[in-house]
Amino acid sequence: MSKRLSQRLRGPNATFLIATLLFFVVVQALLSFGLLNNFWRGIIFWGVAITIVSLGLNLIYGFNGQFSLGQYGFYAIGAYASADVTYRFMRSDNSALIVVIGGSVITLLLMWGLSALLRRFYGVSTISAFVFNLLATIIGFGCAVVILVPALNAPISALLAVLPSGLAQQIVFFFALLGGAALAGIVSFLFGMPGLELGSDYFGIATLGFTIIIKVLLDNTDTILPFPEMKGARGMVGIPQWTTWPWVFFSFMLVVLVMRNVLHSSTGRTIVAVREDERAAELVGIDTAQSKLLAFVLGSVFAGLAGGIRAHDLAFLHPQSFNFIQSFNPLIIVVFGGLGSMTGTIFAGFTWILLLEGVLRLYLPAGFETWRFVVYPLLLIMMMLLRPEGLLGQYEIAFLRAKLPTLNRKLTTPAPTAEEVTA
Amino acid sequence: MTKGRPESLSVEVEQRPVVLTIEDLTHFFDNLRAVGNFSLTLRKGELVGLIGPNGAGKTTVFNLITGVYRATEGRIQYNGTELIGLPSHEVIQMGIARTFQNIRLFSNLTVLDNVRIAYHPHAGYNLLDAILRRGRYYKREARLTERAQEFLAIFGLEERQNDIAGSLPYGLQRRLEIARALATRPHLLLLDEPAAGMNPQEIDQLMELIHFIRDKFDLTILLVEHRMRLVMNICEWITVMDFGEVIARGTPDEVRNDPKVIEAYLGRQASVQ
């Protein structure tokens, strides 16, 4: 065990670990000593959030080949859900926490049971499976609202009141982020199950519709939906500003590690195989529907997590920041960085926000930001003409690269004889 | 007498267990009948050819077996299990593998990854093991890689394991496609025009390869082919299709001299050497 650990901590892994830790410490120091003002702090946090969304999109579009414009919808779901949890917690009401976490847990358990059950049946159509899962979701969250909230609200509030307020805050924030991500994952699962059957381009249009639906729902949270605290089109205020650099950094590292570990596994290879040739993947025995759904849900969970981080940094949410024009941001980042390159997405995500939202806003005359929508498409067109594979193509830094296996000598040279082994 | 077999086969052959039974298979594309009343029975270890002019419905039969299309009528049974209605990946996981007329590799991935992807159902670890990088992930991943390398070594591709599949010469791409198909651990292999685009020398190598894998992996092989030299040389018996229907069955010699085959498939004036 220790041997394996020491092996793992050598070479590119060690370099990467040291570099990221250094980055973490430097930014933390700059923030602690007040060398970065709130503007730059916001820019960095925003950069990380949008990079996480873009990584999720790269998993869906760059690695799995499914064109999605819906990531801002899931980003919005994560943001609003987690904001609602902490907003209510601040007003000594833990119902949102219980619904989001309890409902997600029940729903996931029901879905898990359902998938085991449906596997025994012969020829269940996607639409029936979808309806069953939708019912499971309704039952899961219904149970949470009807049973869990009245039963658990008082004890959980009492429990959180006993804890020191700082600790209670961090615990609630953790569950808020988790709940936002889980909710985004469940919605993406329900949406993706029938949606991904459409095939790449039509799926892209469906996700565009999804983003618009989410935006319209957010405009009407206080009228159609029963969430008066979200204040519909006026924007949600009063969200605690709890996002700190460690939260941002470790969420980011978690996303990078999970994505890398998934991509370098056998399942990850099937995800890439679907991009390469879906029919061929199907005909070497890969359940492509499952593979596509996995990439889509994982990417959307990332988006939901980023939403929670962003909401608790900005402390203000407005439906307009989640409209479909905004949803092109991660797409542009992914295309710029290179489809199928995690390094490229990380690089492009940070550059995008630092440059366009940070540097240009500060150093160029006021009113320039209205020109951004002229600059974006021009940049994109130039990119497509000059370097269609993206800035970094499919390049990865050593830490994120799959190790190429060495030649198996056993197969090419004859096996050593007994004397050679003992000698 | 089983349906879908020539009458001239030896008694010894007829005693082997049945692997695949296709009965009265009919498939329509809208109103166009692509396959009509097609029957075929394969016994274990056989190497059978399916030939016919362009558009006769040969590839459609393959697509019906592997679940790409769902047959309008008829039955396809593999070791006693009905295949119609099963999704492709389940058919493949039951032990049927196929190659494609136009090679369909994962051409931007390495040669080794092409084989490792096909080996996925036997990987032996789940996503959680991979995300948490448990010991099982390292162990099984190493074993999986070793297996894939063994497959490549059988096909003489081990030195090129880290090359991009699309960069291989044509003949090697064919080999890789067959290697990838075999990595799914099939018992029945469907080869769709394996000799398409090959020169005579490559065809000779291919014939050797087909014989070799049949013995090595204990396979039953069904082969769609245009190249008469290949079919006549290696197939034990042949089914001839035209316009979606079977017009003749028999050993290569019988088929070669069948006037219906000569007329429908090879043309009125043609003769086969």
- Is A273 within 8 Å of B117 (Cβ atoms)? yes
Angle (CA) B129-B130-B132 rounded to 5° is: 70
Q: What's the pLDDT score for residue A105?
A: 96
Helix (H, G, I), strand (E, B) or coil at A409: helix
Q: Is A329 in contact with A90 (CB distance < 8 Å)?
A: no
Same domain, A12 and A145: no
The domains found in chain B, sorted by start residue, are 1-95+186-273 (3.40.50.300), 107-183 (no CATH)
> Quick check: is A374 in a domain?
no
The confidence band for A418, taking pLDDT boundaries of 50, 70 and 90, is: very low
Do residues A3 and A97 both lie within one domain? no
Domain end residue (candidates: A287, A315, A335): A335
> CA A196 to CA A126: how far, in whole Å?
10
pLDDT, mean of residues B73-101: 91
Residues A108 and A168 in one domain: yes
Q: In what order do the strands lie in the sheet with B73-78?
A: B32-43, B18-29, B73-78, B81-82
Q: Which helix (H) or strand (E) holds B21?
A: strand B18-29
Contact A207, A195 (CB under 8 A): yes
Q: Give domain status of residue A419, yes or no.
A: no
Sort residue A396 into left (φ over 0), alpha (ψ -120 to 50) or beta. Answer: beta
> What digits encode the pLDDT tens for the residues A294-320?
999 999 999 999 999 999 999 999 999
Contact B68 A283 (CB under 8 A): yes
Instruction: Report residue A420's pLDDT band, with 50, 70 and 90 as the boundaries.
Output: very low
Domain carrying residue A27: 1-36
Shared-domain flag, residues A71 and A50: yes
Provide the 3-class DSSP secondary structure of residue A17. Answer: helix
* Contact call for residues A346 and A352 (beta carbons, < 8 A): no
**How does DSSP classify residue B120?**
G
Q: Indicate if the pLDDT at residue A361 is higher than 80.
A: no
Q: Do A268 and B87 touch (CB under 8 A)?
A: no
Clarify whether residues A176 and A297 are in a common domain. Answer: yes
**Whole-angstrom distance between the N-terminal and C-terminal Cα of chain A?**
29
ipTM: 0.89
Mean pLDDT of A4-25: 80
The alpha-carbon radius of gyration of chain B (Å, integer) is 20
Any domain includes A340: no
Q: Which residues of A touch B112 (CB under 8 A)?
A: 405
- Judged by DSSP in three states, A244 sits in coil
Best to test chain A binding among B131, B141, B178, B182 (most A CBs inside 10 Å): B131
Q: Can you give the C-alpha Rg of chain A in angstroms?
A: 23
Strand B47-51 vs strand B245-250: parallel, antiparallel, or unpaired? unpaired
Same domain? For A2 and A92 the reply is no
Closest CA to A191 of A335, A292, A79, A41: A292
One domain, residues A6 and A98: no
What band does A243 get if pLDDT is binned at 50, 70 and 90?
very high
The answer to whether B224 and B52 have CB atoms below 8 angstroms apart is no
Say what the pLDDT of residue B265 is.
66
Which residue type occupies A289?
A
> Which helix (H) or strand (E) segment is A188 a member of?
helix A165-195
State the nearest Cα–Cα gap between A1 and chain B, in angstroms.
9
Which amino acid makes up residue B8? S
Is A396 domain-assigned? no
Ranges A252-266, A403-417, B55-69, B105-119: which has the least confidence:
A403-417
Residue A56 near residue A154, CB atoms below 8 Å: no
Of B66, B141, B148, the residue nearest B110 (C-alpha): B148
Query: pLDDT tens across A142-170, in order?
Result: 999 999 999 998 899 899 989 998 999 99
Q: Which residue of chain A is at minimal alpha-carbon distance from B166?
A: A276
In a domain, residue A402? The reply is no
The candidate with the shortest Cα–Cα distance to A108, out of A76, A83, A143, A77, is: A143
Two tokens at A214? 């989410």
The SS3 call for residue A104 is helix
Segment A43-100, tens digit of pLDDT: 999 999 999 999 999 999 999 999 999 999 999 999 999 999 999 999 988 999 999 9
**Interchain contact A64–B (C-beta under 8 A):** no
In whole angstroms, give the CA distance from residue B174 to residue B189. 14
Q: A123 in a domain, yes or no?
A: yes
The rounded distance, in Å, linking the Cα atoms of B250 and B236 is: 9
Strand partners, B38: B25
**How high is the pLDDT of residue A182?**
97
Residue A179 lies in a domain: yes
For CA atoms A175, A181, A187, A193, give the dihedral sign.
negative
Distance between CA A185 and CA B28 in Å, rounded?
Answer: 40
Supply the pLDDT for residue A4. Answer: 64
What is residue B14's predicted lDDT score, i.e. its pLDDT?
Answer: 82
- B40 with B20: CB under 8 angstroms? yes
Give the type of residue at A293. L
CB-based contact B92 A284, cutoff 8 Å? yes
* A80 lies in the same domain as A228: yes
**Which tokens in the block code for residue A195?**
């949606």
Sign of the dihedral through C-alpha A208, A209, A214, A217: positive
The SS3 call for residue B239 is strand
A284 shares a domain with A225: yes
* Whether residues A29 and A111 fall in one domain: no
User: What is the per-residue burial (b if ≥16 Cβ within 10 Å, else e) of A278-299?
Assistant: bebbbbbbbbbbebbbbbbbbb
Same-domain check for residues A23 and A151? no
Task: Indicate yes or no: CB of A266 within 8 angstroms of CB of B109.
Answer: no
- Partner B, chain A 110-149, Cβ-Cβ below 8 Å: 122-123
Q: According to the model, what pLDDT value does residue B2 have?
A: 62
Residue A417 falls inside a structural domain: no
Higher per-residue pLDDT: A137 or A356: A137
Q: How confident is the model at residue B273 (pLDDT cuts 50, 70, 90)?
A: very low
DSSP letter string, A115-176:
HHHHTTSSS--HHHHHHHHHHHHHHHHHHIIIIIHHHHHHHHHHHHHHS-HHHHHHHHHHHH
Q: Which of A180-194, A225-239, B82-96: highest mean pLDDT?
A: A180-194
- B62, burial (CB in 10 Å: exposed 0-12, middle 13-18, buried 19+): buried
What is the Cα–Cα distance from A175 to A166, expressed in whole angstroms? Answer: 14
CA distance A291 to A270: 7
User: How many domains does one find in chain A?
Assistant: 2
Averaged pLDDT score across all residues of chain A: 89
- pLDDT for B271 beyond 60: no
Report the residue of B127, B163, B178, B191 to disrupt the A interface, i.e. the one with the largest count of A CBs within 10 Å.
B127
Q: Pick from A335, A362, A389: which residue ends a domain?
A: A335
Whole-prediction pTM value? Answer: 0.91
Question: Are A91 and A238 in a shared domain?
Answer: yes
Distance of CA A297 to the CA centre of its chain: 9
Are A185 and A293 spatial neighbours (Cβ–Cβ below 8 Å)?
Answer: no
- What are the pLDDT digits (tens) for A379-405? 888 888 888 888 887 788 888 888 788
Quote the pLDDT of residue A313. 94
Q: Does A284 touch chain B (CB under 8 A)?
A: yes
Residue A422 has pLDDT above 60, yes or no: no
Do the chains contact at A282 and B127, CB–CB below 8 Å? no
Query: What pLDDT score was predicted for residue B259?
Result: 85
Mean pLDDT of B46-59: 88
Return the closest-CA partner of residue A132 out of A149, A148, A116: A116
Q: What is the reported pLDDT for B1?
A: 44
